[in-house]
Amino acid sequence: MNNIMINIIKILSYFFKENKKLLFLTDDVTPRLNKICNALDEADFPYKIILIKETSGQRNSSIVRDGCLIVNKSFFGYLKLLKLKGSTAHLLINSELEFYNNLINLKIFKCFVDIYDHKFLYKENQSINFQKILEDKILRKCDGIISRSLGLKYKNKNKIYKKRKILFLDYSSVENFQRRIIKKNYYNLLIIFPKWNSLSIYKNLEYIFSLLLKQQFNIYLILNPKNIQELKILKEKNNFRNIHPLDFEEYETYKKNLKNIDVYLWISINELVDNNSKDYVYKLSMHKYASSNRIYEMIEKNIFSASPKITKFDSFILNRYSHSYVYENLDDLKNLRLELEKKVGAKNKDISKILVKNNLNRLLKFYES
């Protein structure tokens, strides 16, 4: 949208009364947003979700919630938002940076920015560089910044973003699943591969699978369906059994399947990924500061987790609030079953400090301050 259209909408906004509400604007209802909204529902606090889409009829989202207002990315979509002028807007940004940048320029909302995946943590390329410029503009012009990880702290060492900030993690949504680790002949182990990655960027997979199968783990993989054939070839080549792909697409199915998982293995990035591959988009250093929603799902289900030392922040959370094992290199995975069985019968840890409902007031006060 060009400056002329932005100025037209600004002029039209003077004819609308203020309608102060709490809004969540996003292009996808993610588990993070879903958990915040569930906590607000429990507290009986009113809000509105606005889904930003290419067309007004489109509705493809990770999680379906009733009552969402769907707005398309057109001039008329921005006009639709004028009815909510004066509201507090929590912008959960997964993509569509240009839309959010325009929205902040309109100054019809008090805008708090919550970026899922900071672009400054990506390797340089033409497309990413353009997105980095937009992200920088958004972070400088918004009314406040909501961080889900330490990534922004890493970027903001020189205090270039002077806006008010809050660290609001993805958190757990429910109390501990009431089960303890029990001894078994075979344990079910889960590995999650990012759905946008090809298996071709990974190395040492055969070695990892061999280590795990020798310890009598049933291995379940969540991966891009396009990689199923590659996995089949790898299994046949090495005569691997007890390796099973799981459906990535349905979030509720995934959550339901977690109750059958005993171990979550976060594979060491530096030893597994060919960092020079053009298909691998992240800077290696980002894993030290990043945070994953997955770890909170494992914590609330009391699933034993093994994480690499390079994932410094997430490993700290896992170690503090769940039974976990932090390993330095892939050879350490030879001891995974031994480390797991040390926790057999161990009491669940207190996770009250990382429940979203117990942190909600911090977020609400941040909106108001």
Is the pLDDT at 275 greater than 60? The verdict is no
pLDDT at position 296, please?
93
Is the pLDDT at 295 greater than 90? The verdict is yes
Q: How many CA atoms lie within 13 A of 218 on its CB side?
A: 11
**Band of pLDDT at residue 292, cut at 50, 70 and 90:** confident
For residue 190, which phi and psi values (nearest 5 degrees)?
Answer: -110, 135
Q: Which domains does the chain have, with CATH numbers?
A: 3-171+357-368 (3.40.50.2000), 187-350 (3.40.50.2000)
pLDDT at position 291, please?
83
* Residue 319 burial by Cβ neighbours in a 10 Å radius (0-12, 13-18, 19+): middle
Q: Which residue has the higher pLDDT, 207 or 152?
A: 207
Contacts of 267 by beta carbon, 8 Å cutoff, 6+ apart: 191, 208, 308
Is the pLDDT at 366 greater than 60? The verdict is yes
Read off the pTM: 0.89
Return the bridge partners of 324, or none.
Answer: 305
Is the pLDDT at 113 greater than 50? The verdict is yes
